[in-house]
Amino acid sequence: MTLVGGIEAGGTKFVCAVGSSPDDIREEIRYPTSTPQENIQRAIDFFAEHHRTTPLAAIGIASFGPVDPDPSSPAFGYVTTTPKPHWAHTDFAGPIREAFGLPVGFDSDVNGAALGEQRWGAAQGLDTFVYLTIGTGLGGGGMVNGKLIHGLMHSEMGHITIPHDREKDPYPGWCTYHGDCWEGLACGPAIEDRWKARAETLAPDHPAWDLEAHYLALGLRTLICVVSPQRIIMGGGVMQQMHLFPKVRAETQRLLNGYIQKPQILERIDEYIVPPALGNRAGVAGALALAHEALA
């Protein structure tokens, strides 16, 4: 069993773990996201302690972004243009690689989570699928034909445009770049800002949820048409509201209007739009999966 290290770097917290898989996590620490110097050093200290007694084979980093995941780019391993204080243009993978001389896997948090779900969770056996997180932001990654989606950088699915009827919903949107892009209309802070109450406090029969399901389904229709995923996995804090799943599924079917004649959508949509099988371990599993990938 190959032991690896994983760093799940989120906008609010870091999780560092040592293990071989999400079912075999030997040690784990969590701490708040602050400055790169502090956060990266703490990760190095944690892995060093472990590495002395039980050597690690590789380390994976699944990071909030945007990041540069292109190994041939001079900024590979960097968090790039993030508005997050202290983190813009930060070399993240470099200091970890230098500290240990081990292979380091590096990708966006959602591409990492997608890889973890493919290895151990809801995307096993699939080669084309999407992983979305609806939380502080709205991010998406995934695979096409068995490879994580990369190109210029990585997907930024949260910033696609969806129809916004300003008469029904005058809320201008939360995104600092685009206002009412998908993330701007449907992320957790947008729900809170629109309804003046934290998403977790809104009752299941609050009108917020029908609107949320409508916005989520509009984005899914676009992704289904563009990527043709075999499955869509939806995680993140907002999707803890399990009653959203049946609403999003029904609304997606309604919006597709019978165009995609596949049983996965017409008959088995409960298995098509699903929560992460790894639950709240999906993020850290992603980091471990990126470490294994770096070895392969």
Residues in contact with ligand ADP by the rule CB under 6 A? 10-12, 135-136, 188-189, 192, 198-200, 236-238, 240-241
C-alpha separations of 161 from 9, 136, 178 in Å: 27, 18, 9
Q: Which is nearer to ligand ADP, 104 or 239 (CB)?
A: 239
The tokens for 99 are 């500290």
For residue 94, the partner it binds in Zn ion, ligand ADP, none, with Cβ less than 5 to 8 A by kind, is none
For residue 95, the partner it binds in ligand ADP, Zn ion, none, with Cβ less than 5 to 8 A by kind, is none
Place of tokens 């990527």: 227
Q: Which is nearer to ligand ADP, 94 or 237 (CB)?
A: 237
User: What's the DSSP call for residue 90?
Assistant: E
C-alpha separations of 190 from 166, 197, 226 in Å: 15, 10, 25
Binding positions for Zn ion, 150-169, rule CB under 5 A: 159
For residues 281 and 279, what is the distance between their CA atoms, to the nearest angstrom? 5
CB of 83 to Zn ion, least distance (A): 11
175 contributes a contact to Zn ion by CB under 5 A? yes
264: buried, middle or exposed (CB in 10 Å: 19+, 13-18, 0-12)? Answer: middle
CB of 200 to ligand ADP, least distance (A): 4
36-39 own/partner pairs: CB under 8 Å, 24+ apart? 36/79, 36/86, 36/87, 36/90, 36/92, 39/9, 39/14
For residue 181, the partner it binds in ligand ADP, Zn ion, none, with Cβ less than 5 to 8 A by kind, is Zn ion
Q: Which is nearer to ligand ADP, 58 or 139 (CB)?
A: 139
185 contributes a contact to Zn ion by CB under 5 A? no
CB of 11 to Zn ion, least distance (A): 15
For residues 296 and 291, what is the distance between their CA atoms, to the nearest angstrom? 9
CB of 261 to ligand ADP, least distance (A): 34
Stretch that binds Zn ion, among 44-52, 58-66, 176-184, 248-256 (CB under 5 A): 176-184
Torsions phi, psi for 210 (to 5 deg): -65, -40
CB of 191 to ligand ADP, least distance (A): 7
For residue 159, the partner it binds in Zn ion, ligand ADP, none, with Cβ less than 5 to 8 A by kind, is Zn ion
CB of 161 to Zn ion, least distance (A): 9
91: buried, middle or exposed (CB in 10 Å: 19+, 13-18, 0-12)? Answer: middle
Residues near Zn ion (CB under 5 A) = 159, 175, 177-178, 181
